[in-house]
Amino acid sequence: MADPSDRDHVVDLVIVGAGPAGLFAAYYGGFRGLRVAVIDSLPQPGGQVMAMYPEKPIYDIGGFPSVRGRDLIDGLTRQAAPFGPLYLLGQQAVELHRDDGGVLTLTTSAGSRVMCRAVVVTAGVGTFTPRELPAGGPYEGRGLMYFVTRPQDLADRDVVIVGGGDSAVDWALALDSVARSVTLVHRRARFRAHEHSVAQLMASPSIEVLVEHEVVEAGGTPALESVRVADKQGNERRLACQTLVAALGFVADLGPLAEWGVALRDRHILVDTRMATNVPGVFAAGDVTEYPGKVRLIAVGFGEAATAVNNAMTVINPEAALFPGHSTDQPR
């Protein structure tokens, strides 16, 4: 396929969003013989799975009693790889223009232009921005991080995690056997995380849990060396810390997608049974979609991606059959 360093690309189908549904759509577009481009604002494929819980086991994917988020994304990218999708990562799909001949042109935040005949939006919750930890702000890139993508990179480090949701607890458990020390700081007494995960956290003899505490200061020159925490009574402690993980949730925003003219409801894209939007040539699949009876699961998104791509195929090539046959019938 085209070199991603080029500014202009011509493909058949563009996938906006490189999460699980988008990656499966990339495979399915290749399976149907389409030239596919995938655009995502994150610098690597995987969407929320890779950004927020790459080490977390996922239990509701068909055929996998349990699969790590990282392994799921690796499998999806390898599944699509034989068809050579073009990945335009670290750039946001900004503008969508449709000419009189039905050709769609997407312009990205990096200045790339991609011309195609159909688009499948698999943007999940859209662009998500982590909630900032004010005390750690000066150390972003020097010890403060918002996502843990490679726990092994934190080996032999004192790690302080801030938050009480699933990500905070999952990362604490994942780092327990990797980091030199792990401390979880939560400003409330109760956790939002899954009860079973919280029970594991509390049972760990090596993870220190400080509830009703906040990180009030970070220090070190030039990189992070320690943090100061305080409880509600104002009692303070200083903790050794070379890595501060702020797991405070994120703010989701559809961003420029909301300006494309697609019908929305509560920041979700309305689709019909074909996964088609109200904009000709634009389809959607996965968590970003809304319709009666919608269930937001990765497993559901896979089916929606296949439905969207097959229906997009009939727009790209009106003579093509909607149903492609079974993959087992295809020559290998």
Annotated binding-site residues for FAD read 40, 48, 53, 93, 128, 287, 328
Give me the torsion for CA of 321, 324, 325, 330, rounded to 10°: 130
Please enumerate, by residue number, every residue annotated as part of a binding site: 40, 48, 53, 93, 128, 287, 328
Show Cβ contacts of residue 16 under 8 Å, excluding neighbours closer than 6 positions: 22, 39, 40, 93, 106, 119, 120, 121, 122, 123, 257
Give the integer Cα–Cα distance in Å for 107 and 29: 21
How many CB atoms within 10 Å of residue 112? Answer: 20
CB 187 within 8 A of CB 216: no
Only one residue has tokens 């939007």, namely 277
Measured distance CA(53)–CA(164) in Å, rounded: 15
Residue 120: its H or E element: strand 118-121
ω into 222 cis (within 30 of 0): yes
CA-atom Rg of the chain in angstroms:
22
For 15, 186, 198, 261, the CA distances from 265, given in Å and listed in that order, are: 21, 34, 34, 12
Q: Which residues pair with 107 in a beta bridge?
A: 95, 113
Contact 306, 32 (CB under 8 A): no
Which candidate, 40, 39, 41, 34, places its Cα nearest to that of 117?
34
